[in-house]
Every structure is written in C-alpha cells, then in structure tokens.
Amino acid sequence: MQGPLGDVVVLDLSRALAGPHAAQMLGDLGAHVIKVEHPAGDESRGWGPPFAGPDADISTYFLAANRNKQSITVDLKTDEGRELVERLVRRSDVLIENFRTGVLDRLGFGVDRLHELNPRLVVLSITGFGHDGPEGGRPGYDQIAQGEAGLMSLTGPPGEPYRVGASIADLLAGIHGAYGVVAALYERERTGQGTVVRTSLLASVVGVHSYHGTSWTVGGRLPVANGNHHSSIAPYGAFHCADGMIQIAAGNEGQWRKVAQLLDIDPEIPKYATNRERFAHRDELISEMEKALAAHDRAHWLSALDSLGVPAGAIRSLDEVYSWDQVRSQGLLVEVEHPVLGRITLPGPPLRFDDHPAAAHTPPPALGQDNDAVLAWLAEREASGGTPT
C-alpha cells in the first residue's frame, strides 16, 4: 500500500478490538500489517450477530477492525510458533499486543527479549487498566472500562448510568495507541532505538474527560448525566418539533440571539441574558423553545437555522448516515473485494492527505489465508538482509 507509513512493517499480535483498531489505523496509513492469530482465530471472528456469507459464519464485527492486513496462524505455545514470531520480530518495525499483563513475558517475548531481537522495534502495549499500579493486572472489556472510568456517569438521562453505544473505550485506546506509535517511530529517527508505548482502556477514557474532568478537579463541581443537553452551554442539545427532533447548538451569544429571534423569545430578559443564567433556567428555556418549535417540522427549522448560520442538524440512523452524500464525499466508506462476500462496503478511515491519492484498501483476511505469502516475504527479507526501516 501507499501512504505516509508505506515502509513500515507492523506485527499485530492483538485481538478483539482495541489493538486491531490501532493496527488497522496504521494499515490505513500504508503500513504492511501482519496479523498473527492463534489457529482458532481472533475471538472477534465469532462475535455476532450479525454474521454474513453463504454459511453465515463471517463476523461483521471482525470485518470492522481488520482491513488492510494479512493473516497468519501461529501457536505461540509451541517452539515452532515462537521461532516464527522471533523471525518476524527481527523484520518488523512495530509490534502491537493487548495480552493481560505478564502473558507475553510468560510466552518468552517480554520487552527485554523483544529489544534483544530487534533494538529498533516499537512496541505498543494496550491493557485494560494499565500494566502496573495496584490494579494493573485486571482484565478489561469496554463496558467495564466505561463504568470504571466514569464515562457511564456522564451518559444518558439524569439518574441512571448508560454505556456509550459504540465500544468507545476500545476504540479510543486504539486511536491513542496508533498516535503513540507514530510518535515513537518519529523519535526512533533521532535515537535509532525503539521504545514501548503503553495505553489502556482506563487511560484512554480518562484522557478524554476534558472539561468534565476540570469541572471536578478545578471547579469542584461533580458532572452528572445531562441526557441530550450540554453540561455547560444552553441552549445546546436535542429539541422536539412537529415531526421529531432536531439538534441546535448556540455556542455563543450571537447565535443565541438569532435562535431567540427566530423562536420569538426575548434574549435580553435577565433569566436568558447570559449563558450562566440560561443554564440555570435550562429546563424552562427548553420548554419555551419546544413550544415554538412545535409549529413546524424538522425540514422547516433546519432550513431556517441554516440560513441564520446557527449550527443545527438532524439525528440520523446509520442507514441514513451511510447514504448521505456528505459522508461519501469525505471518503468515509470504502469498497473492497472480499474472497467470500464479494464486493462489500466498510466504514473507511477518518484521515485524508492532500499529497496522497485515496488508498486502495484490502479486505479483512480469512483466518490464515496469508500463511504462504508471509513466509515467502519473510524468507526474501532474510535472504536479502532486509531490516526494518
């Protein structure tokens, strides 16, 4: 593949979602990604429904996190398997793993051994709650991390914690891990040495608390769930109109005055004159706005708000999102030729580079489909003396 990381080899020992998502991101940037799977396969191959294919045995979950990779099967508990991974480590730039703390060491691939095999290797290690500390060895799954890291306390209607619909802790860990890898590769150009990048589901969620975090650490105010409305700005949220709901975000005083004028609300009365006052009277403001919005349908209000330059939008289901011309214009859907499913559409990468043409993506691989190809590539690299970049 072509791209900014076109000369980088990634050895992906991870499974499920966080690590594979990080590896997929690097693959989207052009890296050569070799996914090492146990002969039974990444467990996400069995996660569903839904499943696809003539035998209904291809997990759409797996398809979401494994494009632009090759798959080889290796049993790390055998001498033969460990020897093959050692050979691959010597020819790789990056290794990604999300085993529980200590598992890789027990398999004979602790950090010291990896850097003995390849001093320039960048290692990305993703754990549930961190590799050290009093609870460093805990296993971590997305929903557990969402709860432990406070995200569920901020989500949903007031009074009851809700998980975020997407596996956001896993995905954020993958994103943070990928940008850590890129930083480590940049540092390696200066030092000549690889390093270990560590993140976790816990760290990745706490790392995006943003203003919710400072609300407590600086302001002493404990954030709570606000349903479909912002925790600090009003009006900013989802509102009912004649035929459903729309979202309106008045992020500054000028936008608020435009909304107020459109809805025939006096923006200067004391309870609405500043954001501080509007937030204090938010329930009353929402009620007054929704009484006015009930006069027309969504299309009317979205057109009127757009003409005023006020940020507003529909609330789309995923089928509507994927049929939206704007989504397609941004390269957010890619088509690949799957060996069993034929031509399929996948959610695409969120980055574009002006100096690089749109990449041609490869489909998520069948289990072990590239055993021979990877062995041939490895033998060629070893014969030529090829080393990581």
Q: Which pLDDT score, from 0 to 100, does residue 1 have?
A: 57
**What is the mean predicted confidence (pLDDT) over 355-376?**
92
Judge whether 120 and 388 are in contact, CB under 8 Å: yes
Cα-trace Rg, the chain: 25
- pLDDT tens column, 121-164: 999 999 999 999 999 989 889 999 999 999 999 999 998 999 99
Q: What are the structure tokens assigned to 73, written together?
A: 């099967």
DSSP state of 302: H
Active site residues: 170
- Give the HSE-up count for residue 53: Cα atoms under 13 Å, Cβ half-sphere: 15
Burial class (CB in 10 A: 0-12, 13-18, 19+), 383: exposed
Q: Which pLDDT score, from 0 to 100, does residue 338 have?
A: 95
Distance of alpha carbon 328 from alpha carbon 311, whole angstroms? 21
Percent of the chain topping pLDDT 90: 93
Residue from 13, 9, 8 nearest 81 by CA: 13
Distance of alpha carbon 326 from alpha carbon 10, whole angstroms? 32
Q: Which pLDDT score, from 0 to 100, does residue 359 have?
A: 78
pLDDT(227) > 60: yes
Q: What are the structure tokens assigned to 53, written together?
A: 């294919």
Judge whether 149 and 202 are in contact, CB under 8 Å: yes
ω before 50 within 30° of 0 (cis)?
yes
Distance of alpha carbon 72 from alpha carbon 115, whole angstroms? 23
Helix-helix angle 168-191:18-28, to 10 degrees: 50
pTM, whole model, 2 decimals? 0.93
pLDDT(120) > 60: yes
Distance of alpha carbon 215 from alpha carbon 209, whole angstroms? 10
Q: Which pLDDT score, from 0 to 100, does residue 388 have?
A: 63
Dihedral (Cα; 208, 212, 216, 221), 10-degree rounding:
-170
pLDDT(250) > 80: yes
Judge whether 380 and 374 are in contact, CB under 8 Å: no
Helix-helix angle 371-384:79-90, to 10 degrees: 50
Judge whether 42 and 62 are in contact, CB under 8 Å: yes
Domains and CATH numbers, the chain: 9-208+324-384 (3.40.50.10540), 236-317 (3.30.1540.10)
Percent of the chain topping pLDDT 70: 99
pLDDT(389) > 70: no
Q: Which pLDDT score, from 0 to 100, does residue 137 have?
A: 83
Distance of alpha carbon 37 from alpha carbon 30, whole angstroms? 21
Q: Which pLDDT score, from 0 to 100, does residue 355 have?
A: 83
**Contacts for 167 with CB less than 8 Å, ≥ 6 apart:** 17, 142
Helix (H, G, I), strand (E, B) or coil at 336: strand
Beta strands in the chain (DSSP E): 9-12, 32-37, 51-52, 58-59, 69-73, 94-97, 122-127, 196-200, 236-241, 244-249, 312-313, 333-338, 342-347
**What is the mean predicted confidence (pLDDT) over 87-116?**
95
Q: Which pLDDT score, from 0 to 100, does residue 360 have?
A: 86
pLDDT(387) > 90: no
pLDDT band at 357 (very low <50, low <70, confident <90, very high): confident
What does pLDDT average to over the chain?
Answer: 95
